[in-house]
Amino acid sequence: MKITDGYPEYMMKSIKLVEEKREKNMSQPVKPMSMKSREEVLSKYHPDYMKGTKRELKVGIDKGTILYNGIVDLLEAKPVLDPKDVDLSKIDYDVDLLIIGGGGAGTVAALFAYESGVPKDKILIVTKLRHGDANSMMAQGGIQAADRPEDNPTLHYLDIYGGGHFTNKPELARALALDAPGIISWHEELGVMYDRHEDGEFQELSGGGTCRNRMHSCKDYSGMELMRNIRDKARNLEMPVLEFCPMAELLMDDKGQLAGGIAFNLETFEYYVIRAKATILATGGSGRLHLANYPTTNHYGATGDGLIMAYHVGANLLDLDTIQIHPTGDAYPEPLVGILSTEKIRGLGAIPLNKNGDPFVFPLEPRDVESAMFIQECKRGKGIVTPTGMPGVWLDSPMVDIIHGEGTIETKLAGEVRKFKRFGIDMTKHPILVYPTLHYQNGGVEINEKTETKIPGLFAAGEVSGGVHGKNRLMGNSLLDFNVFGRRSGIYAAKYVKKAKIGKLTLNHLDKYNKMLEQAKIKPAKSAPIILPEYRGEMAISRALDIF
């Protein structure tokens, strides 16, 4: 196969059409869709609305609700921990506040709990991989906050609520919109290098489904820059962190309060009993479950553990009948399939095009609608199919330099340019091929404005929580989410800690859960949480022995 500039000949032919029609495409933009046509395309092409992707849950507090198959599989699996294996009489860590997850939400929570008076040696962050290994680090596009004179938090609220199809918990959407300016100001104090104009005002872009340009960015490394600052602050404070120690299950006491958890050392296979007066669940999302068989943009550790553990203790879940597929996952070259190309590329003016070089959708619809339109175009045979059989549509990235001036792509999308350059593709000259990829867990453990869950002593923040975004999250609102609710969880958990008294520790909830499974006549073949995904080659697995 002859490859020119990173693309095989037949793809280059299609690129020629894209180039010929570029000027015309830029001068005649496609209009946003009506609510009715949005609904139509969603119902036909979005996995949330398709048959076979979901089923009814047969066990626990949310019994009878419909969730994605992959989530039900794990909720109906056997709890991974056998209470008989654990000696609760020996406490390895005795703290006021246990934070599960060392990503954005968890780290922000620790900082604000400390500021709210919890001594740092009474805070413990446990995390599956390294501190900072999280989806937060990977967010590229930016963070929303309504701070321009043309904008206001009310409009931000309306975008969040409408984008979520009016299914969000209104008080959570309100907190997200109203806390946003304060968060950006906190970032200024930390030293986050936001993209600014010369006068110090932020360069703010549009995002899918937002009515004002309010996306603040740090080139296309926005999440990394936020996380680097937040983590550096935690490190300067010597905030205690246990790395490579995911939580296997949560602990309760005999009064029905949450009382900590059992951590599992991935390298020595030991468990640790952690007793805590309050626990913040900040375990992130579940992209690595590959729901509806989608590739994912997510971090290696994003296996939905928090949902499973919280459900085992009786916390309820929201909106897990939806997933966010991001319209612009990479479809070519093969090693990049599923990896994200940031929404910022469209925010800067690039238009999606089919194989004939024709536009077919307003570039900045909400993510679910944009994705469904891409899938429809490919199902109609107007996508480009890669040599490995992956369909995709063009995202005409060179438009960005034409609109904003040469060099814009290099400076504002440095990460993207670098990624494609490794494979001989120059996105400043040629379009890139994209197809929807599994990106975000819209729902999760239900919280209120104080990030409290149904279980006393259990707080949740960030992607693991449910209710903030309803059934669809808008771009730029997840970086905002982990900051807003991470902060709130730290503050409210610190308050809770002052009064909390923990009783006798127990893992009885696991025995109870096993009984419920039995009563529901479920014979689990798997156990959960799964902690890490399984990507070993099938040949190797088929020969693996469990003797060592």
Partner 1 sequence: MIKKEQVLLEKPDVKKAEDVEKKAGTIEVFVMGKSYKVPAGLTIMKALEYAGYRYIRGCGCRAGFCGACSTIYRIEDEQKLGFDLACQKVVEDKMYLVQLPFVPATKVEYDIDKLEPTESTILEIYPEIARCVSCNTCTKSCPQDIEVMKYIQRAIRGEIAKCAEISFDCIQCGLCAMRCPADIKHYHVSQLARRLRGKYIDTKSKNLAKRLKEVESRKYDSEIEKLIKMDNKGILELYKNRKIEAEEKGPGGD
Q: Which one, 89 or 542, has the nearer CB to partner 1?
A: 542
Task: Give the Cα-Cα-Cα angle 215, 217, 222 (nearest 5 degrees).
Answer: 125
Q: Does 121 bind partner 1 (CB under 8 A)?
A: no
Per CB under 8 A, contacts with partner 1 among 295-324 are 297, 299-300
The residue assigned the tokens 């068989």 is 293
- Note whether 228 binds partner 1 by CB under 8 A: yes
Here the tokens at position 191 are 């030293």
Q: How far is the CB of 106 from partner 1 (least distance, A)?
A: 15
Rounded to a whole number of angstroms, the minimum distance from the CB of residue 277 to partner 1 is 26
Which 470-509 positions form the footprint of partner 1 (CB under 8 A)?
none
Q: Which of 21, 55, 122, 212 binds partner 1 (CB under 8 A)?
A: 212
| Contact pick of 52, 268, 406, 546 for partner 1 (by CB under 8 A) | 546
Q: Rule CB under 8 A: is residue 120 a binding residue for partner 1?
A: no
CA-CA-CA-CA torsion for 71, 73, 75, 81, nearest 10 degrees? -120
Q: Any idea what DSSP says for residue 163?
A: H
In the complex, least distance from residue 137 CB atom to partner 1, rounded to whole angstroms: 5
Q: Indicate the residue among 111 and 493 with the shorter CB distance to partner 1.
A: 111
Tell me if residue 326 is catalytic. Answer: yes
463 touches partner 1 by CB under 8 A: no
Concerning whether 46 is annotated as a catalytic residue, the answer is no
| Euclidean distance between CA atoms 42 and 53, whole angstroms | 14
**Active-site residue among 228, 346, 439, 469?**
346
Q: Does 424 bind partner 1 (CB under 8 A)?
A: no
Q: At residue 207, what is the residue type?
A: G
- Assign residue 403 a region (left: φ > 0; alpha: ψ between -120 and 50; beta: otherwise): alpha
CA angle 462, 454, 231 (to 5 degrees): 25
Per CB under 8 A, does 200 bind partner 1? yes
Cβ contacts of 40 within 8 Å, gap of 6 or more: none
Residues 46, 131, 228, 326: which is the catalytic one?
326
22 binds partner 1 (CB under 8 A): no
With a CB cutoff of 8 Å and minimum separation 6, the contacts of 9 are: 1, 2
Whether residue 146 contacts residue 184, with contact meaning beta carbons closer than 8 Å, is answered with no
The window from 43-51, 410-418, 427-435, 490-498 that contacts partner 1 (CB under 8 A) reads 410-418
Stretch that binds partner 1, among 131-139, 307-315, 461-469, 502-510 (CB under 8 A): 131-139
What's the min distance (Å) between Cβ of 435 and partner 1? Answer: 16
Among 27, 28, 89, 236, binds partner 1 (CB under 8 A): 236
Note whether 269 binds partner 1 by CB under 8 A. Answer: yes
Measured distance CA(375)–CA(387) in Å, rounded: 18
- Pick one of 192, 315, 413, 434: the residue that binds partner 1 (CB under 8 A): 192
Q: Between 299 and 367, name the residue whose CB sits nearer to partner 1.
A: 299
Q: If you compute the radius of gyration of the chain from its CA atoms, what whole number of angstroms results?
A: 23
Residue span binding partner 1 (CB under 8 A) among the ranges 54-62, 91-99, 225-233, 320-328: 225-233
Least gap, CB of 174 to partner 1 (angstroms)? 5
Q: Which is nearer to partner 1, 68 or 161 (CB)?
A: 161
Distance CA 307, CA 332 (A): 33
Question: Nearer Cβ to partner 1, position 23 or 334?
Answer: 334
Q: For residues 132-171, which are near partner 1 according to CB under 8 A?
A: 132-133, 135, 137-138, 145-150, 152-155, 157-158, 161-162, 166, 170-171
Left (φ > 0), alpha (ψ -120 to 50) or beta: where does 298 sit? Answer: beta
**What residues from 168 to 187 belong to the interface with partner 1 (CB under 8 A)?**
170-171, 174, 177-178, 181-182, 184-185
d(CA 108, CA 115): 11
Write b or e for each residue in 240-272: b if 16 or more Cβ atoms lie within 10 A of its Cβ, otherwise e: bbbbbbbbbbbbbbeeebbbbbbbbeeeeeebb
Q: How far is the CB of 212 from partner 1 (least distance, A)?
A: 5
Among residues 506, 516, 507, 541, the alpha carbon closest in space to that of 78 is found at 516
| C-alpha separations of 134 from 66, 207, 419 in Å | 28, 22, 19
For partner 1, give the closer residue by CB, 46 or 419. Answer: 419
Smallest separation, CB 509 to partner 1 (Å): 18
Q: How many CB atoms lie within 10 A of CB 314?
A: 18
How far is 522 from 103, CA to CA, in rounded Å? 34
Which residue from 536, 70, 69 is spatially nearest to 303, judged by alpha carbons?
Answer: 70
Binding string, 323-362, against partner 1, x = CB under 8 A? -----------xx---xx-----xxxx------------x
**Residue among 418, 429, 504, 515 that touches partner 1 (CB under 8 A):** 418
Site string (45-84) toward partner 1, x via CB under 8 A:
-----------------------------------xxx--
- Residue 532 token pair: 């890490």
Catalytic residues: 326, 346
